[in-house]
């Protein structure tokens, strides 16, 4: 039988330093991601002005006016036009 005591003990063990350290240590990966981005991004790349991969202009990032009341950081999907909007 699973009791409140088991839940508390399991939760405490899960968030203890030896187990949780690898999960919460993802901040060191940001340096690796930045290095990887530097390898694959062409020099002088500006998403608003350049197209080094020859993509169709419809697929390039574009700034658009968003509706008032949208929460910054959200991603909105226009399923009909098949666009993603990062607010």
* Tens digit of each residue's pLDDT (9 = 90 or more) over 72-86: 888 888 889 888 888
Task: Please measure the distance between the N-terminal and C-terminal CA atoms of the chain and give it in whole angstroms.
Answer: 46
Spatial separation of the C-alpha atoms in residues 62 and 49, rounded to whole Å = 10
pLDDT at 39: 85
- Indicate if the pLDDT at residue 46 is higher than 80: no
* Tens digit of each residue's pLDDT (9 = 90 or more) over 20-30: 555 555 667 77
């Amino acid at each position: 039988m699973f009791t409140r005591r088991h839940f508390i003990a399991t939760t405490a063990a899960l968030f203890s330093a030896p187990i949780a350290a690898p999960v919460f240590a993802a901040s060191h990966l940001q340096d690796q991601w930045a290095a990887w981005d530097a390898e694959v991004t062409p020099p002088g790349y500006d998403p608003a002005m350049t197209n080094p991969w020859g993509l169709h202009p419809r697929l390039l990032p574009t700034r658009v006016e968003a509706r008032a009341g949208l929460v910054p950081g959200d991603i909105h999907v226009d399923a009909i036009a098949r666009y993603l909007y990062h607010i």
